[in-house]
Amino acid sequence: MVNTQLFHTIKGALLPAATVCNAEQAPAYAFGPRHQLAQLAATGCLSRTFYADAEQQLDQVLALTKTLEPAFIAKTAIYGRQSGYMKDVPALLAASLAVRDVALLSTVFSRVVDNGKMLRNFVQILRSGAVGRKSLGSRPKKLVQHWLLTATERQLLNAAVGNTPSLADVVKMVHPKPSEAGRAAWFAWLIGRPFDEAALPPITQAFERFKRAAQGEAAEVPDVPFQMLTALALTSAQWAQIARQGSWQMVRQNLNTFARHGVFDLPGMTEVVAAKLSDAQAVAKARVMPYQLLSAFKAAGDTVPVQVRDALQDAMELSLANVPALAGRVVVCPDVSGSMSSAVTGHRGSATSSVRCIDVAALVAAAVLRKNPQARVLPFEQDVVKLQLNARDSVMTNAQALAKIGGGGTNCSAPLAVLNRERAAVDVVILVSDNESWVDGNRRGATQTLREWDLLKQRNPKARLVCIDIQPTATTQAAERHDILNVGGFSDVVFRMVANFTTGTMDAEHWVGEIDKVSLAAQ
């Protein structure tokens, strides 16, 4: 008689065996090459994370660009930039097209390289030799020249802030030939050559006059990036003017700076800054991601007025306007294990974000709870952690409560096991994790996460599982199929995809299929 423990009858559908090991050397399922590239474009930061260093991420992206068709690389670059709001990997993908398909690069260049920072990133990646060439080449050079010759004065001034390379380096490299005197004078001013001040564009002229003037109360602060002014001795009133005319993102990032220079001590300035931060149109235009607001809220010191901090919470609610109200019984499961303590955008030295992966996972859970007040929240590490949240509390409050847990090993199957023990009725389960489960690792066969999901499906045949991964990875604990969506990122587009998936309006390829729909037609 055979060993019935070894050859016991499996209930439900025959599950696929795990195909690879994850970073913790536990069983997992490998994504296909297209899904791997999509994941890296939506979450990859080319910086050291908990499980991968920058070189590993770079090598992985480069290997994928050599095997995948250029059209999909171009679509992924556009998606990563326009929907995921990422910078590093989209710039790298665009640079790879300079080697693989330069005609296609010309078609998508303006949709990926949409500001000066992206332009400098693109040039630095190409000249580094990482994609297989160290010179720009004639077509990429013309694309960079065209950006320089058609950008507005404000875009050029914003691009002039930053190094490696500086915009001056880029201008010296590509030698743009402007037809109008104002732009020629501006380029000469930028690279330190003699220029006709009278021919400079108006904002740059005002900046030159301001530098010569005595910085007093009457001196009008020019509308230039504030980084160009920080070396000057400015008054509180002038700092207040910077706050009034600054962009939404600049104001969000410099609340402590304004407080340090006495801006909030001036009559009415607290109200001005608060109104700017909570303006719905400004929030939408800034394409702000919720985690940026969480970062600003966490970083705001005691000298930042309560009214301004409250405005950040108002902006958070506005930024989550696209979070869907999902039909049925919803369970959201944020990973609060130890690996989630790493910075969400990777380790970048002094520029490392204070926002951790656990903060983003908690934020996603709190946002879902806000739009779905009856949803259950099951935070997990080695096991599910008991925590009672109030759906009426602000998203910021609930996110902070979840993020305070932290620690322990990763067990992605834990919340599913709880639901199975309870024999719970479920329609949608949203798992927010780095997917590096190891506590529940099996020696053979399917992952424990997929096994628990299969048991849940036997009771809830129409249920759907969404696995949101917020760190670059090539594996998952639940293999993609008609009722399982694996998606990377933490922008509002992810919420829209969750809604489409749960209502059955996505095609069979799910997330990768959505990226494949991106049009490459010239715009």
pLDDT digits (tens, 9 = 90+) for 236-284: 999 999 999 999 999 999 999 999 999 999 999 999 999 999 999 999 8
10 in a structural domain? no
Return mean pLDDT, the chain: 89
Q: How confident is the model at residue 400 (pLDDT cuts 50, 70, 90)?
A: confident
d(CA 515, CA 144) in angstroms, rounded, equals 26
> What is the per-residue pLDDT for 511?
87
2 in a structural domain? no
Q: How confident is the model at residue 3 (pLDDT cuts 50, 70, 90)?
A: low
**Could you tell me if 255 and 382 lie in one domain?**
no
**Could you tell me if 372 and 503 lie in one domain?**
yes
**Could you tell me if 267 and 376 lie in one domain?**
no
> What is the per-residue pLDDT for 9?
47
**Could you tell me if 300 and 327 lie in one domain?**
no
11 in a structural domain? no
Query: Are the beta carbons of 429 and 463 closer than 8 angstroms?
Result: yes
pTM, to two decimals: 0.87
8: pLDDT strictly greater than 60 = no
> What is the per-residue pLDDT for 12?
44
**Could you tell me if 329 and 313 lie in one domain?**
no
Q: Which residue range forms the structural domain that includes residue 129?
A: 34-199
Residue with the bigger pLDDT between 339 and 114: it is 114
**Could you tell me if 53 and 188 lie in one domain?**
yes
Query: Are the beta carbons of 261 and 236 closer than 8 angstroms?
Result: yes
**Could you tell me if 152 and 268 lie in one domain?**
no
1 in a structural domain? no
346: pLDDT strictly greater than 70 = no
Helix (H, G, I), strand (E, B), or coil: what is residue 377? strand
105: pLDDT strictly greater than 90 = yes
**Could you tell me if 355 and 459 lie in one domain?**
yes
**Could you tell me if 181 and 45 lie in one domain?**
yes
**Could you tell me if 428 and 410 lie in one domain?**
yes
Query: Are the beta carbons of 358 and 59 closer than 8 angstroms?
Result: no
Q: How many domains does the chain have?
A: 3
* Tokens, residue 185: 């004078």
Q: How confident is the model at residue 4 (pLDDT cuts 50, 70, 90)?
A: low
Q: CA angle, 217 as apex, 216 and 221 as ends, to 5°?
A: 85
Q: How far is CA 240 from CA 40, 226, 244, 259, 309, in A?
A: 40, 11, 6, 10, 18
215 in a structural domain? no
Helix (H, G, I), strand (E, B), or coil: what is residue 240? helix
| Model pLDDT for residues 140-179, shown as the tens digit of each residue | 999 999 999 999 999 999 999 999 899 999 999 999 999 9
